[in-house]
Each structure stands twice: as structure tokens, then as C-alpha cells.
Structure 1
């Protein structure tokens, strides 16, 4: 029988309690869910009350055991590398493989997305901080590399074939194919130009960055341990940040602050632009023909970033 990948609220609570009694024998505190428990979830985080220290426990369905272990391992590595200063990663306290439960320190503060909802006037400040955090996260693995576009070209060709055949139904498919064809024709001319590689987050959103009262920015939900294009994390952050800009001028200022926070990057400008275009097309290719409001907003921001990075 296939192990469950999702847990309902009662199942997640039961596993979290069992894990905490392993972490802290004799624990008799309470658990406060950090997400609505209206439907089964792949991963369910709880604030732990009554423990030895402020903590959050996150539990996965047993079918996601590999994912849980990967996140525990990678988050511990990143937390060790980002253990001081204002750009940090939430430390791992323990991991219970039997219950697929990760115990981590509680970062006292608010997700940046919640800060911006209440204080949109802090957009430029937080864009700068997000860029600084991203650079600190990449720094230990960041390395120069000659650009290798063959994989990107093959990926674009696959997407074009899927969209043209109707296998992949997306908004404005004709425009997508035209843009993908243009990028494909440019790809090999960028071969061996200066680029960068780093182990990235690959799921970086403003919900994964917690701003504490003392100004420390804490990152969490690490899992990826493979090298990638560093700009991918910045692109993901940009999609979230730009939603809070009131107009084009504010979007430009925000985007500039994000990159200013990241700092100098030894990458060919045309390679950087090509990659940003690819990130935008990747999101476009994964947007359904009838997108939700949230999906439509993200696609609109991806198009805006794509226009800013025109080749």
C-alpha cells in the first residue's frame, strides 16, 4: 500500500505530539497550527508551546519521508553557514524520521509577506534586505562558470512542442511560442560567456523569510542541494515583491533595490537577461489557460520582469 503523502489535521497533530515526546520526553504542552487545517496538507507546521525552548515542529505525510529528510539535512547545513549577522537561517533542533517530523527553532517575527501587507511603504527597504539575504545564502557556494545553454535550448524546444501540440494549454500560446523561438535562436551565441552557479533555494518566497524585531532576516524551508542559476531565487522574490508596488516607477525602484541588495555579480549582462527571460517563460509555461487570480498576478509580474530584461 502506498504511504500517504498528505495528512489531515488530526493525523498531523498526532504525529507532531509523538515526535515531541521523542524530542522532549515528558513534554505536555500544546500545539498551535500555523496553517488552516481545512484540508489534508503535504507538510503541516505547528508552533510548540511548553517546550524546552521556542520551537516549531513540521510534519510530513509518510509518503514524503525523503522530502522531509532532505529538508532537515539541507536546513541544518544552511543554518550552520548562516549562523550570525542579520541574514540567518532557522536552526534545526532535531529530526524524527519515524514521524517525518522536523523540530526547528522558532524565528520570532513576521513573514515578510505579512509585513508588506500591513506596511507597503516598506517595499524598497525590504526588497534591499531580501537581496542581501539571498546573496548571503548563495555566498558559500557561489562560483564563476562559463555559461552552458544547451540544456536551456533543449528545454525551450520541449516547451514549444508541448504548447504547439496542445499538450500544454497556457495563456496566449502563440505569443509564448514566438518568444521561445527567439530565445532558442539566441541560446548558443551565449555559450562560454561569464556566468555564475550556486546552490539555491529554488522555492524562495516572501513567506519563507521571517523579519524579527531586531532586524534579523531568517530564511527557512530549505531542501534543494543542487547547483542552479542564482538569478532564479531573485526572480522568485521579485514576483512576490512587485505585487506591492503601486505603479511602474515603484516596480522599477523595487526591482533595482532587490538587485542592489544582492550586489555585484560577475555575469555577462546578456546571459543574465537570457536567464531571466527563461525564468519568466518557465512560469508562463506552467500557468493554466484559465489562471486563478493569484496565477494571473504572478504571470503579469513575470511579463513585467521579462520586459525589463529584454535582449
Structure 2
């Protein structure tokens, strides 16, 4: 169970101390991944104020390897970014056999929590500005210029379309998605060879993986990816996530222009030419739309996500380029 593994990790890291655990996430009944906040009991001085994050992955060769990669990548990013208000929680201890890692607790609130309390989409501009600044700093650690090739992305989507036609998977509202493919081909042709940036991407860059303190410090975390990709992928993931998780009714993408402006002001020069941004935005929306057919059950949240992705794919609102 996760409690026993987390307790053993903490006793190894801080011998002689006991900790109270508050579980933030537990998957698969504790046999999968889990995350807890740990605070010492009966300690004095600095140790009494210390708060730690314990992360567990499945204690399998795959789980251990994944956590080791994350710990290494987070160590690099933390060392490079922790001198500013754009931060990465400091990795503190890795237990390979336990598939457990201990990190600095960033505290604060996730941008997802802050986003849920906004009154209008325009109010989200400061939060997305902070997200854009953090993402630019992270991409800068490994960014390189490379001409854009739409083929891998286009082929990935077309494989999913072919699987639906063969009855091997189900894509919701397939006729509407299929109607967007000719336009995506045209955008692919226009974007081929255009200026583009590749970098080691976060690859799970959503509002829940950013934390902001009252001081204004912004922390990014959850570094499971260590592979290079299109830098635009992180931007598209975040902006789509922001639109889909707006707390009110699913808005028209055009209503998000002020919030998107905040992101672009924070990120700076776009990660690719306008033609690449146009292709990748439509691809990202269509790809996420196609993946909804692989997710279990339907419900209000899934229907809302589908409606927002259809709007993003069909309206052509320029989210990835100011």
C-alpha cells in the first residue's frame, strides 16, 4: 500500500522523524502512482516548518525507470531555473527499489485552482502570462531551430481515422472530424519547411502542473518526459486545457483572446512561423478529439471537452500565434 512505501521512504530520507501524510492523488487503489504531502511531527526549528512531496510509481522495472528519468530531468531543470521567480521544485531523494522520490513542496495553489475562481476569461490573462513565462524559460534550456515537418503528426492522426473506418476504434462525431481533414492537409502543405523550434518538452503541460505562490513565484513540476518534440506541443496543450476547463459554459474560442494575449506576452516570440502554428493548432484539437473515443464512459465532462475541441478545430481561432 502507498502509506507503507511513503513512510519507509521518509524514514530513510529523514531518520528519526515521523511524518503526517496528506494524500493528494492515489491511483489503482495504491498499487499504481500516488502523491502525498508530508509534514514532520514533533520536530523543532527548520525541520518543523519543512513540507515535502512524496511521489510513488508502481514498483516495477518500468515504474522505477520512469521515476528515475523524471528525477534526473527535474534535477536539471531545478538547477537551471531556481534562481528566479520561475521555479522547479527541488528533487531531494530518490529510492530506486521503492519507486519513490521526495521533492520540495512548492506550496501555493495550482493554476487550475486559481483558474476555477475567475469571473471572465479575460481575468485569466495574468495566470496565462505566468504560464507563458515559465514555459519559455523551460524550453530555452534545450531549444534549437529546425524546419517543420508536418508528416509525423498528420500520419498519426490519419492512422486513427483509418482505424475508425476499419471498425477498430470509435471517434465521436466522426463525420465532422473527417470534414476537417482536407483543411489540415492544406495547412500541412503550407507549413512544411517553415521555421520551427524543437526542445525537450514537458508534454503534460496543463494548469494542474503549475503552482503559483502568493509571492508570485511560479513552479512547474511533473517531468516525466525527457525527449525532444515540437515546442508548440506544450503551448497547444496548455491553451486547449485552459479553454476546456473554463469554469463557466464552454465559451467561444474568440472570447479567450485577452487571456491568450497574456500567454503570448509571457512566452515572447512564437515557437514557430504562423503557418506552423495554424497547422499545429488544428492538428492538436483534432488529435485530442479523436482520442476521446478511447476514453471510458460518457458524461457531462466528456461532452463538454468534445464540444470545446470541435469549436477549436472548426473555428480556426488563432490561439498559438498572437
User: TM-score, normalising length from structure 1?
Assistant: 0.88
Q: Is the 8 Å Cα contact of residues 187 and 275 (structure 2) preserved in structure 1? A: no
Distance 2:196 2:247 in 1: 30
Deviation of 1:209 after TM superposition, in Å, equals 0.6
- 1:253–1:214 CA distance, 2 compared to 1 (3 A): same
Task: Please identify, of 278-287 and 232-241, the stretch whose mean Cα deviation from structure 2 is larger.
Answer: 232-241
Q: 2:10 matched to which residue of 1? A: 20
1:56 correspondence with 2:53: yes
1:169 matched residue in structure 2? 170
> Distance in 1 between the 2:25 and 2:154 partners?
39
1:10-159 pair list within 5 angstroms = 11-35=1-25, 39-40=29-30, 42-50=32-40, 52=47, 53-63=50-60, 64-120=63-119, 122-159=123-160
The Cα RMSD (Å) is 2.3
The alpha-carbon distance between structure 1 residues 226 and 19, as it changes in their structure 2 partners (threshold 3 A), is same
TM-score normalised by the chain length of structure 2:
0.85
SS of residue paired to 2:158? helix
CA contact (8 A) 1:15 1:99 kept: yes
User: Does the CA-based 8 Å contact 1:245-1:251 persist in structure 2?
Assistant: no
Cα deviation, residue 92, structure 1: 0.3
In structure 1, the gaps of 5 or more residues are: 1-10
Between 1:90-99 and 1:145-154, the stretch displaced more is 145-154
Post-superposition Cα deviations, 1:137-174, rounded to whole Å, max 9, x if no partner, equal 11111221111222223223312211222222121112
* Unpaired segments ≥5 residues, structure 2: none
Aligned residue in 2 for 1:298:
305
How many residue pairs get aligned? The number is 300
Structure 1 residue matching 2:242: 3-state secondary structure: helix
State the alpha-carbon separation in 1 of the partners of residues 266 and 192 from structure 2. 28
Residue-by-residue CA offset, 1:91-136 (whole Å, 9 max, x unaligned): 1011111111110001121111112223445412112111111111
